[in-house]
């Protein structure tokens, strides 16, 4: 007997949304079964009527620099990670990687330690850590501080890959780091991806062969695709095995370029990220990074030099943008925010789908595609 049945929703399963299913949850935080809606009342102790909303797997964001007024670089604590998670949960994110922008080794070690402690303490949603730099290219630095850039030695590789209870995602420039180092990071269990890179096509291909699994915010801060020099973008679009994160905010990448990527990559290899900064879930449009005040104006986040400095994007808005800007059906947009990032992170057997045996990480959207409720490990939280 399941403890709870979620009924009267359009449920996203592998073949699309279904309105004839009930989702049964057990008391351990997992999905017990999907059953015909007519059987729900005989299968569960309690019934939750979801009023005809869209029920999708909870969103998973692999690139979250901050939220709720907190920037991870400025506060590498368990409390900061929890605050970031709370802020993004309001927008459907039930799993995330707190992301550290290029910084000193001491800050990196603190960030990894805080992530380890947050996971051990059961902070809702935290899946691991994303180290975005500092092993990146000055020519494609964006808002990163080039004074932090370096090539890691063996001791730093060991530190950067030391998280033992969650995922480690590392963004680096393959032309800046020896291929042996990429291999070593991958051998230690890290997911290594290319980003903030000026790599030639050949250098990007060599990185893929050494163990790169994908590309951070495709098109942004990387060598572009040109007729005689395909660059990192060309290597990313050509390679059928690699994953690409994309920022669908209408600012970072033109919708036409995103449609090209959707056409080029196999289905499931393009997934949504926010690259979110502290103003997501906060009323304050400004924050400090490397001692510089950065402000969002009309939803666009730039530093004083005019470079894009992350985003003010939340995952629910990214999903809506996929529908409204790219013309994607809602089921595919939702998969780009849940199923595909789960697969990229190696978590497809735990989350990212609504199926029996998976963790009950869910998001309920209304007719306007605004978030109404989320579940993390079966625990519901409604958006006020």
What is the rounded distance in angstroms from the CA atom of residue 92 to the CA atom of residue 85?
10
The share of the chain scoring above pLDDT 90, in percent, equals: 95
The set of residues, in sequence order, having a beta carbon less than 8 Å from that of 234 and lying 6+ positions away, is 201, 204, 225, 226
- Summarize the confidence of residues 215-221 as an average pLDDT: 98
Q: What is the pLDDT of residue 1?
A: 59
Give dist(CA 350, CA 145) in Å, integer.
Answer: 36
**DSSP summary character for residue 266:** P
Which is the catalytic residue, given 26, 61, 103, 275?
275
Residues spanned by CATH 2.30.40.10 within the chain?
2-57+353-382
Dihedral of CA 53/58/63/65: which sign? positive
Instruction: Give the Cα separation of 256 and 7 in Å (integer).
Output: 38
CB-CB contact of 40 with 22 (8 Å): yes
CATH topology of domain 59-344: TIM Barrel (3.20.20)
Selection from 195, 310, 191, 320 nearest residue 245 by Cα: 195
Position 41 confidence tier, pLDDT thresholds 50, 70, 90: confident
Confidence of residue 268 (pLDDT cuts 50, 70, 90): very high
CATH no. for 2-57+353-382: 2.30.40.10
Judge contact between 172 and 183, C-beta under 8 A: no
Q: Taking residues 251-257, report their average pLDDT.
A: 98
How many Cβ atoms from other residues are within 10 Å of residue 370's Cβ? 15
* pLDDT tens digits for range 128-157: 999 999 999 999 999 999 999 999 999 999
Inter-residue contact 248 to 321 (CB < 8 Å) = yes
- Segment 303-358, tens digit of pLDDT: 888 889 999 999 999 999 999 999 999 999 999 999 999 999 999 999 999 999 99
Q: Which of 189-198, 262-271, 300-309, 355-364 has the lowest mean pLDDT?
A: 300-309
Distance of CA 381 to the CA centre of its chain: 20
- pLDDT of 23-32, one tens digit each? 999 999 999 9
Residue 384 — pLDDT band, cuts 50, 70, 90? confident
* Ramachandran bin of 69, using left for φ above 0, alpha for ψ from -120 to 50, beta for the remaining angles: left
Q: Is 75 a catalytic residue?
A: no
Location of each CATH 3.20.20.140 domain in the chain: 59-344
For residue 347 the two structure tokens come to 């978590």
Q: Is pLDDT at 162 greater than 70 in this prediction?
A: yes
| Cβ contact 245:62 at 8 Å | yes
């Amino acid at each position: 007997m399941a403890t709870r049945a979620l009924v009267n929703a359009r449920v996203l399963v592998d073949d699309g949304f279904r309105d004839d299913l009930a989702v049964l949850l057990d008391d351990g935080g997992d999905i017990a079964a999907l059953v015909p809606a007519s059987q729900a009342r005989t299968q569960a102790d309690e019934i939750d009527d979801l009023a005809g909303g869209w029920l999708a797997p909870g969103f998973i964001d692999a690139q979250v620099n901050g939220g709720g007024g907190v920037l991870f670089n400025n506060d590498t604590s368990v409390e900061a990670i929890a605050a970031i998670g709370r802020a993004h949960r309001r927008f459907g994110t039930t799993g995330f990687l707190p992301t550290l922008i290029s910084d000193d080794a001491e800050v990196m070690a603190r960030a990894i330690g805080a992530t380890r402690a947050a996971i051990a303490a059961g902070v809702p949603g935290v899946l691991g850590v994303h180290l975005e730099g500092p092993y990146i290219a000055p020519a494609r630095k964006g808002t990163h501080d080039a004074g932090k850039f370096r090539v890691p030695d063996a001791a730093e590789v060991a530190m950067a890959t030391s998280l033992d209870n969650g995922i480690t995602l590392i963004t680096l420039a393959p032309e800046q780091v020896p291929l042996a180092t990429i291999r070593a990071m991958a051998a230690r269990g890290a997911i290594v991806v290319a980003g903030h890179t000026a790599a030639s096509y050949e250098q990007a291909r060599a990185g893929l062969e050494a163990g790169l699994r994908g590309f951070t915010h495709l098109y942004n801060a990387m060598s572009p695709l040109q007729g005689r020099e395909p660059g990192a973008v060309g290597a990313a679009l050509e390679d059928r095995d690699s994953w690409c994160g994309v920022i669908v905010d209408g600012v970072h990448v033109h919708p036409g370029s995103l449609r090209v990527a959707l056409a080029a990559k196999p289905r499931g290899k393009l997934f949504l990220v926010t690259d979110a900064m502290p103003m997501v879930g906060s009323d304050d449009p400004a924050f400090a990074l490397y001692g510089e005040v950065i402000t969002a104006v009309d939803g666009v986040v730039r530093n004083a030099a005019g470079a894009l400095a992350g985003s003010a994007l939340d995952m629910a808005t990214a999903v809506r943008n996929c529908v409204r800007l790219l013309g994607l059906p809602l089921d595919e947009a939702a998969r780009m925010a849940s199923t595909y990032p789960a697969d990229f992170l190696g978590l497809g057997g735990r989350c990212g789908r609504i199926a029996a045996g998976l963790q009950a990480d869910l998001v309920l959207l209304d007719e306007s595609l605004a978030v109404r409720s989320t579940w993390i490990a079966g625990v519901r939280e409604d958006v006020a």
